[in-house]
Structure 1
Amino acid sequence: MSAGRLAGRYSLLRPLGAGGMGKVWLARDEMLERDVAVKELTLPEGMPDKERSEAVTRAVREAQATARLRHPGIVALHDVVVEQDRPWLVMELLRGRTLGDTVRDFGPMPPDYAARVGADVLEALMVAHAQGLQHRDVKPGNVFLTESGRVVLTDFGIARQEGQATLTEQGLMIGSPGFIAPERLEGHPGGPASDLWSLGATLYVALTGAPAYSGSMADRVRATLTQPVPVAPGPLGPVVAAMMAQHPGARPDPRLVVDALRQVAAGLPAPKLPAGEMATAPSGSGGRGKLGVLVAAVVVVALAAAATTGFLLLRDRDGAAASAFTTPMDVCTLIGAQDLGGILKTANPPKAQPDSDDAGPECGYPLSAAKTGVSLQVQKDSDTVDPWSMTEVSARKLFQSQKRTWGRNDTISWTWPEIGVAGNQRATRTPVHDVKGVGEEAFGFELRGPDGRMHSAYVFYRLANLVVSASYTTLSDRPTDDQIMQSALRAAQASERTLRDGG
């Protein structure tokens, strides 16, 4: 590009918006003599040349898939130009304002108007879904209300073509906290049901003037996974709540949603939507389950793209967290009092008991009266002075070594005098198994006493350069095996959240 001209055809006149992912320019198509919008995409600093080239190729391929879409509710993509080692998307120029700006300046929309906006957007999404294209970033800032009355869904440039790798698979996931469906936060690719959820969250803003989940980025992500779906007031409230059902399979068929929205737009009562009709994505998008691998395994970076707010999840080439933990932390602070009380089912969590051995610093939380306790250890190998000096490579090796070691030992000797286990007691280990919902990789096993009853569960997980083990033990015969296993997992997840929040 030279003298503000792209591909010898598009004159860049002035920026319309700028942010961490580049700029959107007002431009002039000199060949067809019309104004257009040009989106300049940038890639992360330091990306190797080979990966940069592959990312550009994928971005062009995705843009080509987007260009096949023809619908008045979808912003038209005119051209893709690759210059300066990155793609530039040439799109139709829209005049008007976004739904987000409209609500900010004028307040919540009347239900009938919001219903028409929602129906128009959903029909546009259905056209994209019919061609295997998932938008992935439906939000108020990407719904454009033109001066002529069109409702247009923008930013299909980061859409995902079914069956094809995208920028996400190379370490970038783009979306906005509070508008990303639960299953995508858990690391699943998502599908049409995920876009429906995001549209529901967008309509919630249109109806109330505020997002369904507020707070910091981390707060919104956590709330999406753990909090009940809020219900907006008025006739659209139940419709939007159905669209935002936690499990993708529980969300209604989009055709029924369009019909319901059109009825409200016409001033009629909204029909009750049957649940469980929308098919989940063939790529395996799942339900909300645990606090997901993805939500807890990211570095959150605020950015602006096309003058709107976005969300960038940075991962390494294997999908792991890109950051490392190098500042020592007190292991006894990794599980907060509220989490600990919930796991041990007590309003008065026990005092932490720090300890350490050759494997690394450890902390126990024995609830003597209930003969129950939680234990946590941040581990290290024999060649490293402390866990915070571990590298990701050494942590991977340590994790695999631990998995092999525990897989070889069928009988274990253990003791915990503070909860009533004096001397060395013998226990039989269950087979080692993979664990989902914590860390970048995790495994677990359980211990059974001579009577065959399970009394302990262990979870080992790796997070970047750390290997952490969490355990839950109880001598009570009340908890079921599943409850014991879930308690150990909850302890591991609580420690992981603290690590990611920076202690």
Structure 2
Amino acid sequence: MSTGRLAGRYSLLRPLGAGGMGKVWLARDEMLDRDVAVKELTLPEGLSPKERADSVTRAVREAQATARLRHPGIVALHDVVVEQERPWLVMELLRGRTLGETVREFGPMPADYAARVGADVLEALTVAHSQGLQHRDVKPGNVFLTESGRVVLTDFGIARQEGQATLTEQGLMIGSPGFIAPERLEGESGGPLSDLWSLGATLYVALTGAPAHEGSAAQRVRATLTQPVPELAGPLGPLVAAMMARHPAARPDPRVAVHVLRQVAAGEQAPRLPVNHDATVPGQVRRRGRAAVWIAAAVGVAVAAGTTGFFVLRDQGGGPPSAFTVPMDVCTLIGSQEIGRLLRTQSPPKGQPDADEVGPECGWPISGTGVGLQVQKDSDTLDPWSMTTDAARTLFQNQQRYWAKYDDIDWTWPEIGVKKSIRSKRTPVRQLTGLGEEAFGFELKGTTGRVHSAHIYYRLANLVVSVEYTTLNDRPTDEDVKQSALRAAQASEQALRDAG
């Protein structure tokens, strides 16, 4: 379309570029008086009206999934507009150039700079993966280096939400040859480790100025499936080779990879990584590669995949932690054996990660009973591990005031079978000692007058954690329910302290 206006507020000024998924415009948000980027998504020709409507619905759904991602390394999506029978994505305007453009103009990057870029991108990917979203098109053209120094992962246009078909699975695109992980080329849906492979291929370009596999699209695909990655000299060579291992099981844990990248970015010597190059050959790997296990032992990093959470940094003199700053899996904060004891089952459920605007959470539900844990943040902070201790104190106090204010609570937990709200009475909020640096708790009583849920909030340094234990069974007493919540909270606090 020619320059015009969308949704009565976005004035399209001029095209900024175009690609397989559509055209990007420079636009002006007249309501908020700011420049934005607007992506006009292109749908295939020849679609029936129903197919076109379904494609628009699917694209909007994907955009909604992307909009939940809040991280400085992920381009922010402000709005979605459906006009002229197609979706338009309104995004923050980035000023700078892509990694691909930078390498073409200035040549290969120094290892320390490439390492910082890689670490920033991988931390952004971890946030996306924690919400079940794969990027599926990590490549030099989708890594943006802003004038202010931010490293931003762009274009989630072909991202895939776990368990859902996507717009691009209707035949538009599956990624960029040379940057698509082998398992995805073989027809698998892939996962977080597929994005890790693509980031390894991107770092290869950053470090050498050329892709690991060159030639036509077909030649790049064939080489990805049949040839080992060319050896790469320098401090990042072993890590990039491990990231691009032929089989996902041979690739390093993303958190281990971030740690190594940060070491190189800081000018430190990375742990020596004994890479098994046979791991890139089909049929050679049957389990996680020895390399990833070795790094984990060498740097003392807990290897765990899952939703977002925290590692703890301690003061040298012992005592309480000083800060929680690095992501880890919140579903590991309560161990499987403890979950089994709390839920009184020989087959404890696997933690179900989730996240919302309050913070990352994990639930362990079975029929009629469940344990839940959430790491919280305030509305002014991007993520919990960015909070200061003062901000955490304020958040903790606000939570305590909030719960003390309301006596009647509408409560539900569909995963344990409570699909309709239960009108519940809150017991008095009381202070707890011996848990974190400050803590409070309360219970919820149903219409029968017995306690069905116990809730505990505690603060440890700059972290606020809420824990819930619920049972609809008649056998546990009110005190049993309270003690179960306390044991869950104590287990999570100990896990945080042990991580340091």
Q: Shorter chain as normaliser: what TM range? A: 0.5 to 0.7
Aligned to 2:360: none
Superposition TM-score, scaled by structure 2 size: 0.54
Q: How many residues align?
A: 281
Over the matched positions of the two proteins, sequence identity in percent amounts to 86
Contact 2:238 2:275 in 1 (8 A): no
Shift in Å, 1:44: 1.1
What CA distance in whole angstroms lies between the structure 2 residues aligned with 1:289 and 1:57? 40
Aligned to 1:303: none
Contact 1:256 1:273 in 2 (8 A): no
Aligned to 1:43: 43
Aligned to 1:196: 196
SS in 1 for 2:12: strand
Runs of 4+ in 1 over 3 A off after TM superposition: 272-276, 287-290
Contact 2:158 2:173 in 1 (8 A): no
Alignment deviations for residues 430-459 of structure 1 (CA, whole Å, 9 cap, x no partner)? xxxxxxxxxxxxxxxxxxxxxxxxxxxxxx
SS in 2 for 1:117: helix
- CA distance 1:147–1:46, shift in 2 (3 Å): same
What CA distance in whole angstroms lies between the structure 2 residues aligned with 1:187 and 1:12? 39
Alignment deviations for residues 260-306 of structure 1 (CA, whole Å, 9 cap, x no partner)? 00011111122245889xxxxxxxxxx9679xxxxxxxxxxxxxxxx
Contact 1:137 1:176 in 2 (8 A): yes
- Letter aligned with residue 246 of structure 1: R
Aligned to 1:5: 5
- Letter aligned with residue 161 of structure 2: Q
Pair 1:97 & 2:97 matched: yes
Superposition pairs of residues 280-291 of structure 1, within 5 angstroms: none
Aligned to 1:178: 178
- CA distance 1:275–1:164, shift in 2 (3 Å): farther
Aligned to 1:261: 261
Contact 2:201 2:212 in 1 (8 A): yes
What CA distance in whole angstroms lies between the structure 2 residues aligned with 1:182 and 1:125? 19
What CA distance in whole angstroms lies between the structure 1 residues aligned with 2:68 and 2:274? 32
Contact 2:44 2:172 in 1 (8 A): no
- CA distance 1:85–1:274, shift in 2 (3 Å): farther
Contact 2:27 2:37 in 1 (8 A): yes
Aligned to 1:239: 239
What CA distance in whole angstroms lies between the structure 2 residues aligned with 1:142 and 1:255? 21
Aligned to 2:353: none
What CA distance in whole angstroms lies between the structure 1 residues aligned with 2:139 and 2:58? 23
Superposition TM-score, scaled by structure 1 size: 0.54
Shift in Å, 1:22: 2.0
What CA distance in whole angstroms lies between the structure 1 residues aligned with 2:201 and 2:73? 19
- CA distance 1:19–1:259, shift in 2 (3 Å): closer
Q: Which has the higher contact order (CA 8 A, sep 6+)?
A: 1
SS in 1 for 2:17: strand
Pair 1:70 & 2:70 matched: yes
Aligned to 2:139: 139
Q: Where does the alignment leave 5 or more consecutive residues of structure 2 unmatched?
A: 285-500
Aligned to 1:117: 117
Contact 1:200 1:244 in 2 (8 A): yes
Superposition pairs of residues 440-459 of structure 1, within 5 angstroms: none
Shift in Å, 1:174: 2.9
Aligned to 2:154: 154
Q: Where does the alignment leave 5 or more consecutive residues of structure 1 unmatched?
A: 277-286, 291-503
- CA distance 1:36–1:8, shift in 2 (3 Å): same
- Letter aligned with residue 19 of structure 1: G
Contact 1:24 1:37 in 2 (8 A): yes
Superposition pairs of residues 397-412 of structure 1, within 5 angstroms: none
SS in 1 for 2:194: helix
- Letter aligned with residue 79 of structure 1: D
Aligned to 2:381: none
- CA distance 1:289–1:39, shift in 2 (3 Å): farther
Query: Larger C-alpha radius of gyration, 1 or 2?
Result: 1
Contact 2:143 2:153 in 1 (8 A): yes
What CA distance in whole angstroms lies between the structure 2 residues aligned with 1:173 and 1:275? 32
What CA distance in whole angstroms lies between the structure 2 residues aligned with 1:89 and 1:186? 31
Aligned to 2:411: none
Pair 1:229 & 2:229 matched: yes
Alignment deviations for residues 53-73 of structure 1 (CA, whole Å, 9 cap, x no partner)? 111111100100110111000
SS in 1 for 2:157: helix
Shift in Å, 1:239: 0.5
Contact 2:111 2:235 in 1 (8 A): yes
SS in 1 for 2:174: strand
What CA distance in whole angstroms lies between the structure 1 residues aligned with 2:169 and 2:21? 17
SS in 2 for 1:52: helix
What CA distance in whole angstroms lies between the structure 2 residues aligned with 1:193 and 1:183? 10
Shift in Å, 1:16: 0.2
Aligned to 2:22: 22
